[in-house]
Amino acid sequence: MEFTEEQISRYSRHILLPEVGGKGQKKIAKARILLVGAGGLGSPAALYLAAAGVGRIGLIDSDVVDLTNLQRQILHHTPDVGRPKVLSGKEKIQALNPDVAVSMYEERLTAGNAIKIFNDYDVVIDGVDNFTAKFLINDACFFADKPLVHGGILRFDGRVTTIIPRKSACYRCVFKTPPPPGLVASCQEAGVIGVLAGIIGTIQATEALKLVLGIGRPLTDRLLDFDARKTQFREIKVKRNPDCALCGAHPTITELFDDGDPYAGCAVRP
């Protein structure tokens, strides 16, 4: 593939970077990145990846835009309330950059559809709001052998980490199983400062682009926690767990499964 003059101009600030160049920009143009969730984290990720000229962006989301989303989900605008998020998202992505192809999956991610969808992408970004889906994404990336950029936000706290299946610590290496349902407060109850989605989602997009370009040092075997109250990042080293039920030496999870209540909320500090 060759870039047009307009594209060379559009991506010139990338092409100027020795780590990207024309070659790297072509890698970006060929990349396929899947966003599971077109909400808080998915919004900034989608917009920056679209601006970067990612070849194909996949959006999985079964929801319609709600008024309460607009405080942080910047992919959606006021006239979008009531419209499917994947459709609203596709329009914004292509208005920003018509070079980007968008695949819409207006459905919930399940054990039945996850691997088939993931197989068509190079990198998966977790932008979902519940533990059932976060564990399902982690497991599906393991079975489909896809790098995963995990993110989570709650109140004033955010967390991001990159997972390369079989090479770095996975979500189950650290957290094993979702928290028991009765213990967790819902996202709606706990709240979240809107800008946090922008900070964490943008770091997720950065990680995805680095993976596509094959540059730098990925955020693997490290949890990057952000505290917006203190404007402070903290890095916590983690390791692969030899006893991990998914990626350990003697796995007990050998196929995908749907676990528990898909609407189970996000946990908060008791």
133 membership: H or E segment, kind and range: helix 131-144
Distance of closest approach, residue 39 Cβ to another protein, in angstroms: 3
Backbone Cα Rg of the chain: 18
Output 25 or 132, the one with its CB closest to another protein: 132
Strands 148-154 and 222-227: unpaired
Do 260 and 178 form a contact (C-beta atoms < 8 A)?
yes
Question: Which tokens belong to 19?
Answer: 């780590």
Q: Which residues contact another protein by CB under 8 A?
A: 37, 39-42, 69, 73, 126-131, 134, 151-154, 157-159, 173-176, 178-180, 183-184, 187, 190, 192, 197, 223, 234, 236-239, 241, 243, 265-270
Distance of closest approach, residue 131 Cβ to another protein, in angstroms: 5
Output 40 or 53, the one with its CB closest to another protein: 40
Distance of closest approach, residue 236 Cβ to another protein, in angstroms: 5
Between the alpha carbon of residue 51 and those of residues 33, 44, 93, 149, 194, the distances in Å are 13, 10, 8, 19, 21
Separation CA 150–CA 147 (nearest Å): 10
Distance of closest approach, residue 225 Cβ to another protein, in angstroms: 8
Separation CA 225–CA 208 (nearest Å): 18
Q: Quickly tell me which residue has 């196929």 as its tokens.
A: 255
Output 19 or 243, the one with its CB closest to another protein: 243
Output 118 or 226, the one with its CB closest to another protein: 226
First to last CA, the chain: 54
Output 21 or 194, the one with its CB closest to another protein: 194
Distance of closest approach, residue 224 Cβ to another protein, in angstroms: 11
Distance of closest approach, residue 212 Cβ to another protein, in angstroms: 21
Output 41 or 123, the one with its CB closest to another protein: 41
What DSSP letter does each residue of 175-195 carry, written as one string?
Answer: H-SPPPGGGPPPHHHH-B-HH
